Amino acid sequence: MSERGLAGRLRAQLASWEGFLLLVVVLLVALNAVATPYFLTVQNQINLFQLSIEKIIVALVMTFVIINGEIDLSVASVMGLAACAFGWLFQQGMPAGLAVAVVLGIGILCGAFNAFFVVAVGLPSLVVTLATLIAFRGMARILVEDRGIGGFPDWFNRLGQQPLVGPFPMALLVFAVLAAVAFFVLQRTAFGRRVYFIGLSREVAAFSGVDVGRVKAAVFVASGLVAALAGLLYAARVGSVRGDVALGFELDIITIVLLGGVSIFGGVGTVTGTLLSILIVLNLRNGMALANITGHIQTGVLGVLLILSVMVPTIRGWAARLFGGGEAVR
Amino acid sequence: MFDRIPAQTLRLLILLAVFAGVVLFFAAVIDGYLNARLFNRISTSVAIIALIATGQAFVVLTRNIDLSVGSVVGCVAYFVGGLLALWPGMPPLAVALLAVLIGAGFGAVNGFLVARFGLPSIIVTLATLAIFRSILVQSSDGASITTDSLPAWVPGFAQANAFTLGELQLRWMVVVTLVVVLAAHLFLTRLRAGRRFFAIGSNPDAARFAGIDAARTVFLAFVISGALAGLAGFMFLSRFGNITVVAGLGFELKSVGAVVVGGVNIFGGSGNVIGVLVGAALIDLIDTSLVRWELVSEFWREAVLGLLILAAVVADALLSRRLMARRRRAAAGAAAAAPAIGEGRT
Amino acid sequence: MAEPVLEMRGVSKSFGATDALKDVSLSLMAGEIHALVGENGAGKSTLIKAMTGIHRPSAGTILMDGREVAFRDSGAAQQAGVAAIYQEPMVFPDLSVAENIFISHRDRPQLIDWGRMNEEAAEIIARLGVRLDPRRAASELTLAEQQTVEIARAISLKVRVLIMDEPSASLSDHEVRRLFGIARALRDAGVAVLYISHRLEEIFALSDRVTVMRDGRHISTRPTAETTQAGLIAEMVGRDMAGRFARMPGQAREEVMLRVAGLGRAGAFADISFEVRAGEIVCLSGLVGARRTDVALALFGIAPADAGRIELAGQAVRIASPKDAMRLGIAYVSEDRRRLGLALGESIAANITLPALPRYTGALGRIDRLRELADAEGFARRLNIRAPGVTVPAGTLSGGNQQKVMLAKWLNMAPKVLIVDEPTRGIDIGAKAEVHALMRALAGQGVAILVISSDLPEVLSLADRVLVMREGRLAGEFPGETATDEAVMRLAVGAV
């Protein structure tokens, strides 16, 4: 009986969490639109996305990592390493096109490095990626030291800065495509199904013939690859790279994902939730910027939201007790 | 032969050997490396990180993590600096105490959220990392504390020597940290209250059976972590004088690194703060020395640090797995013997 | 005789609709070793939990020294002098032996005097007639040594009632003898020892009185010297034949589907040989700890065997992973539904299709949701799974229906060999009959079925052949028609 209650509540809450997020999105958009007449113009929306485009791209793949029951703290460092490696290779005279390919390869290697220690050695991903967070960032600094590298070819910068199709710049298109791919893979394919099962229970997955190690490794490698891609997009958007590219982004990225209803314990959450959370964060940041609230404080507000989001069950308990809704508490 | 030495001692010995090896290595590749200035410099910067790491160790022992310590250091340094600018006449001891109390207050927020509501500490402290930092930014309005606005004794404290032996200087800061680490060590190893931290991290279920109040102990761990980060914030202020809104950024990772390298199990239950002190010193030694090694640039610091942490964790995992395997072999031997009895009986 | 230390009067405990304990009365005297025996599921564990404050009885009273007590939790029971040790010791692996002993002492000084503590620990350990360095970390100890630490902890708390729940299950002969020595020493010191074991010869070697439980009820208590093994066994299994399921005729075919020869895994089981024919249901019987599940895990590739051979339809095969086993058509329905069987947060349909997922995927790995749902609904109908729909989480179902989902999950891959571990544990009688009928039907289709069950009536009504395992080895075999409760139990407990 209690099982029914528990799982039923869980499900109802999940369903309502996404509904709640949607409500928040609508509310924020409305507030922003009232505050600024041109908020809803296409150009403004594009600018809004462009400002955080690298983070939200990585948030898509982070959704996989956390649902899989793991965490990847090293993504921002991989982004930094990718950007710096691109700058360095370019400076060494490698054609930019080839450098892009090599950098994506580096991203895969970074992911595989994490995967090796998590899957093959069996260390907790929290520790492994904490170490590689520092190590990958360090490699970026070795490559560019304290210089800034720029002067990339025009086509490269244009891809980052100019509209590519209609009013949309490439990064936004990449995001759109990746969002569609992430949704498809996680919610519709056998691979996505296995990611969920492993996050819910490794043992059940293993006892059902799922190759747990291989799925986990694939997710980490994808994380490295997408992070490297995001790093390249950053380099193209800004037009130059430095050792501190994307420094500290991992916190924002993880916050977005968790706010979207993905459980830190794995197995629960959806790409839709992450997308809604992205909209909330972008709109909130926009609104706060309008209200002259600076970046660090915006992050603080997101921190409060993050705590509130994990406290939802507790808060519901309080509310139920307050209003005497005995059934919901139990 | 190593089987006879307790695992904890073995870890510490290995760590010290690595430390000595690193010193010897740099002495061999850097001219005029072993001198008093090196000691003076490293000991002062270790004083700060070792304090934070000691607090972190309490938290990690209980199977939690405190990612907010860097923000606490920054906040405390800034607030204490600001208060000193307002009331320069505050007595030094009161200032230090204030720093500890403010830090403990931040820690209590973390502890309350984790222990009272059972929220995962990684999420809570990830959020408070951002929240505390934003409190700092909000209240500073972007302005910095400068050395000029502080009473002279504040920067003076960082320079003050407790003892000198020729060129070797032992700063008061270092003495304070050593005293704190020693006190923490004695608390954790000599008092029943200290052993609770190990018990909870070692086997939470058994701790409950033994009537240990887990929530209170975890709360206390976060308060201690905050308090020591607060004290470190005061030292940070004293050492650098100029405090901007990014003060203390990155200490969370360094402190976790020192704790892990120092041999504290990231899953709680085992470790000791002397090891953490050595871990912090090792990290700082490598950090400082790479700057002076001509063969590689100073920019290798982070890469080496990251790989060092990874190596420490891998080594630790292999070591404890070896112990587990030994135990399992013994257990398997017992089980394998069982069928033989059964036959004897029929 | 003197006043009992601990007395239970008419204690009952029910969980929902099931009664785990029904009106049980039992007295434990100071200075006696009191054995408690009964089949798996007879209510022994619930009884212990009621004594140690983990469960609150639904009815009845517990008295200590004639005064009624109600323990808030196990800590309170410990303070009152009632402690229990289990098969899996509750120790702090990172703490030393001495610390493990004294951790719950509230009256000791804050400042730890390690020297004195080690001395006192050594003293207590010595009293048990054991040699153990109090400074060693508990993680370095063997299971038996950890148990000793737990007993020492109980003694240090001035224990008056010590419950030992299957303490010998994973100990060697030598360690068991030492344990007996400890139990006798405690008895001589005036402690009431409640000793639970499946091994009847231990009961006779050790205990002063013995209590038999069956189906949650107290059956008898009498001096051990006045009982015989046969008498105890009869009381343990003796149930009215009316409650039994009717036997169904066997459908075994000629073809041997699964044959294992000399199968073994170090530290678990050895020299296991048997065969299962197509359409045959073979039951692997035995007591908890007989290592039956380990044999299943070897056949399914979770913990592969390291000796012997496995043949499938006459072909020698190697099984190193569940994937290998599944490819060969071997399915394993685990006994641990919550931990190993179903992901309770996922939908019924997703759970059912997980092992056979490749069959449902089209281009780009896309799952054919319609076909998936149709198949899941088909199983829901065929197995009579009562659920609002196949898209609800598996965790919302009752235990019996979850069990059926688990069966559906493995039937969906059309296995040639189906291994079912405790097919009906904890499910109601109606669902049980359905599951049995389903397995009969599967056998009729030619599936070779290996059932691991601790439920003797189930074994006797279902099995074409019964294999009995004891302590990692095959102890014997019966044809299904001639197997009896007592014969199987006698082999399982190793009675002479």
pLDDT at residue B221, rounded to an integer: 98
Q: Is the pLDDT at C275 greater than 50, yes or no?
A: yes
Tell me if A313 sits within 8 A of A265, measured CB to CB.
no
Residues A271-277 have a mean pLDDT of 95
Question: What local confidence, expressed as pLDDT, does residue B338 receive?
Answer: 35
Q: Which of B116-130, B301-315, C264-278 has the lowest mean pLDDT?
A: B301-315
| Angle in degrees, CA A213, A219, A221, rounded to 5 | 100
ipTM: 0.84
Is pLDDT above 70 for A11?
Answer: no
Q: Which chains touch B (3 or more CB pairs under 8 A)?
A: A, C
**Cβ within 8 Å, pair C326-A210:** no
Work out the minimum CA distance from B31 to partner chain C, whole angstroms. 44
The reply to whether residue A307 touches residue B133, judged by beta carbons under 8 angstroms, is no
Strand partners, C361: C367
Q: Which of B131, B132, B256 is closest, CB to CB, to A130?
A: B256
Cα A144 to Cα A91, A188, C441, distances in angstroms: 10, 42, 71
- Specify the residue for token string 């209170």: B216
Rounded Cα distance between A134 and B253, Å, is 8
The answer to which of B53-62, B135-144, B326-335, C89-98 has the lowest mean pLDDT is: B326-335
Please list the residues that pair with C69 across neighbouring strands. C62
Instruction: Indicate the pLDDT class of residue B106, thresholds 50, 70 and 90.
Output: very high
Backbone angles phi, psi at C161, to 5 degrees: -130, 120
Q: Which residue has the tokens 């069959």?
A: C359
Residues C477/C467, Cβ–Cβ less than 8 Å: yes
- C389 pLDDT more than 60: yes
C-alpha pair distances (Å), B57 with each of B208, B224, C111, C246: 22, 10, 21, 63
To the nearest whole Å, the CA of B345 is away from the closest chain C CA by 7
Helix, strand, or coil (residue B72): helix
Give the Cα separation of C394 and C342 in Å (integer): 7
d(CA B279, CA C470): 52
Subunits that touch chain A (at least 3 Cβ pairs < 8 angstroms)?
A: B, C
What's phi and psi for C214, nearest 5 deg? -150, 135
Q: Which residues of B touch A296 (CB under 8 A)?
A: 130, 133-134, 136-137, 245
Residue of C nearest to A204 (CA): C340
For the cut 60, the answer to whether the pLDDT of residue A8 exceeds it is: no
Rounded mean pLDDT of C401-416? 93
What pLDDT sits at residue A328?
A: 33
SS3 C259: strand
The CATH number of domain A2-313, selected from 1.10.260, 1.10.3120, 1.10.3470, 2.60.40? 1.10.3470
Lowest mean pLDDT among A88-102, A124-138, B161-175, B271-285: B161-175
pLDDT of residue C293: 92
In angstroms, the CA A202 to CA A197 distance is 7
Residue in B192, B197, B200, B322 to test binding to C, most C beta-carbons within 10 Å = B192
Q: Which residue has the tokens 């090796």?
A: A116
Using DSSP's 3-state secondary structure scheme, residue A194 falls into helix
Residue A175 has pLDDT above 70, yes or no: yes
Task: Give residue B340's pLDDT.
Answer: 31
Please state the φ and ψ torsions of residue C63, each to the nearest 5 degrees.
Answer: -120, 140
List CB contacts (< 8 A) between C330 and chain A: none
Q: What is A164-176 written as a DSSP string?
A: EETTEEHHHHHHH
Taking CA atoms, C100 is separated from A309, C105, C154, in Å, by 39, 10, 11
Residue C26 vs residue C131, higher pLDDT = C26
Question: Which candidate from C339, C343, C392 shows the least CB-CB separation from A197?
Answer: C343
Range of weakest confidence among A316-330, B271-285, C341-355: A316-330
Distance of CA C323 to the CA centre of its chain: 27
List CB contacts of B32: < 8 A, sequence separation 6 or more.
none
- Best residue in C297, C333, C342, C396 for a mutation probing chain A (most A CBs within 10 Å): C396
Distance in Å, alpha carbon of B220 to nearest chain A alpha carbon = 20
B346/C496 touch (CB, cutoff 8 Å), yes or no = yes
Say which CATH topology domain B2-330 has.
Answer: ABC transporter involved in vitamin B12 uptake, BtuC (1.10.3470)
pLDDT band at B162 (very low <50, low <70, confident <90, very high): confident
Domain segments of chain B as ranges: 2-330
Please check the confidence at residue C38 and state whether its pLDDT lies above 90: no
- Segment C138-176, tens digit of pLDDT: 888 888 888 889 989 988 888 999 999 888 876 777 788
Higher pLDDT, A262 or B321: A262
Higher-pLDDT residue of B149, B114: B114
Give chain A positions within 8 Å (CB) of C346.
Answer: 196-197, 200
Residue of A nearest to B122 (CA): A264
Low-confidence winner among B16-20, B82-86, C72-76, C459-463 (lowest mean pLDDT): C72-76
Which one of A211-225, B3-17, B39-53 scores highest in mean pLDDT?
A211-225
* CB contact (8 A) between residue C142 and residue B269: no
Task: Give the CA distances from residue C486 to residues C197, C203, C237, in Å, rounded to whole numbers and listed in that order.
Answer: 18, 18, 7
pLDDT for B1 equals 45
Whether A314 has a pLDDT exceeding 70, the answer reads yes
Q: Is C19 exposed, middle or buried (0-12, 13-18, 19+ CB in 10 A)?
A: middle
**Token pair for B244:** 């901007």
Give the lowest-confidence range in A278-292, B134-148, C138-152, C221-235.
Answer: B134-148
Structure tokens at A317: 């308990």
- Is C338:C296 a contact under the CB 8 Å cutoff? no
pLDDT band (50, 70, 90) for residue C246: low
Q: Which residue has 């073994």 as its token pair?
A: C264
Chains in contact with chain C (at least 3 beta-carbon pairs closer than 8 A): A, B
Give the pairing of strands C256-265 and C307-312: antiparallel
Task: Please report where in the chains the tokens 């899941």 appear, as a residue.
Answer: C376
Terminus-to-terminus CA distance in chain A, angstroms? 12
Which of A130, A146, A306 shows the shortest C-beta gap to B126?
A: A306
Q: Do the Cβ atoms of C361 and A189 come within 8 Å?
A: yes
CB atoms B338 and C173 under 8 Å: yes
Q: Which two three-digit tokens encode residue A239?
A: 């037009």
Confidence of residue B213 (pLDDT cuts 50, 70, 90): confident
> Whose CA is closest to C330, among C370, C284, C362, C295?
C295
3-state secondary structure of C482: coil
Listed range (A185-189, B100-104, C98-102, C482-486) with the worst mean pLDDT? C482-486
- State residue B184's pLDDT score: 97
Torsion, Cα of C483, C484, C485, C487 (10° steps): -80
Do A243 and B299 lie within an 8 Å CB cutoff? yes
Q: Stretch A264-277: mean pLDDT, rounded? A: 93
3-class secondary-structure state, position B163: strand
> What is the C-alpha to C-alpha distance for residues A122 and A171, in angstroms, rounded to an integer?
35
Dihedral of alpha carbons B173, B175, B176, B180, sign: positive
Pick C92's closest partner by Cβ from B192, B193, B202: B202
Q: Tell if the CB–CB gap between C345 and A10 is shorter than 8 Å.
A: yes
Nearest to C140 by CA among B3, B13, B265, B1: B3
User: 10 Å Cβ neighbour count for B295?
Assistant: 8
Yes or no, beta carbons of C343 and A200 under 8 Å apart: yes
Average pLDDT, chain C: 88
Separation between Cα atoms, residue A82 and residue A65, nearest integer Å: 20
Which residues lie closer than 8 Å to C274 by C-beta, 6 or more apart? C259, C260, C282, C467, C474, C477
C281-291 residue pLDDT tens: 999 998 877 88
The side-by-side arrangement of strands in the sheet containing C417-421 is C330-333, C417-421, C448-452, C281-286, C465-470, C473-479
Min Cα–Cα distance to chain C from B115, Å: 21
Integer Cα distance of A49 and A175 in angstroms:
10
Measured distance CA(B106)–CA(B66) in Å, rounded: 11
Say if residue C227's pLDDT is above 50.
yes
Cβ pair A203:C302 closer than 8 A? no
Query: How much of chain B exceeds pLDDT 90, in percent?
Result: 45
CA-to-CA separations, A52 to A246, A249, B44, C26, C434, in angstroms, rounded: 11, 10, 39, 70, 57
Going from the C-alpha of C4 to that of each of B146, C67, C213, the distances in angstroms are: 78, 11, 20
Q: What stretches of chain B adopt beta strand conformation (E)? A: 161-165, 168-171
Pairing verdict, β C192-196 and C33-37: parallel
Closest Cα in chain B, distance from residue C39 (Å): 19
Set out the domains of chain C in order of their start, with CATH numbers.
4-238 (3.40.50.300), 243-493 (3.40.50.300)
Cβ neighbours of B36 (radius 10 Å): 13
Q: Do C494 and B336 touch (CB under 8 A)?
A: no
- Residue C378 has a pLDDT of 95
The verdict on a CB contact (< 8 Å) between A139 and B142 is: no
Under a CB-based contact definition with an 8 Å cutoff, are residues C295 and C269 in contact?
yes
* C331 contacts on A by Cβ (under 8 Å): none
For the segment C56-99, what is each residue's pLDDT rounded down to a tens digit? 898 999 999 989 998 888 778 888 899 988 777 889 988 999 99
Q: Is B3 on the interface with C (CB under 8 A)?
A: no
- Using a CB–CB cut-off of 8 Å, the residues of A that contact C are 1, 3-4, 6-8, 10-11, 184-185, 188-191, 193-194, 196-197, 200-201, 203-211, 267-268
DSSP-H helix ranges across chain B: 7-29, 36-61, 69-86, 92-111, 117, 121-140, 153-159, 172-190, 192-202, 204-209, 214-240, 251-261, 273-292, 301-345
DSSP, collapsed to helix, strand or coil, labels residue C194 as strand
The proportion of chain A whose per-residue pLDDT surpasses 70, expressed as a percent, equals 91
**Residues of chain C neighbouring A203 (CB-CB closer than 8 A):** 339-340
pLDDT at C32 over 80: yes
- Chain C residues touching residue B270 (CB < 8 angstroms): 94
B142 contacts in chain A (CB < 8 Å) = 294
Closest CA to C71 of B209, B233, B5: B209
- Answer whether residue A6 shows pLDDT above 70: no
Q: Which amino acid is at C278?
A: A
pLDDT at B14: 85
- The alpha carbon of residue A254 is apart from the nearest alpha carbon of chain B, in Å, by 9
**C86 DSSP assignment:** -
Q: Rounded CA gap, C460 and C456, in Å?
A: 6
Three-class SS state of C163: strand
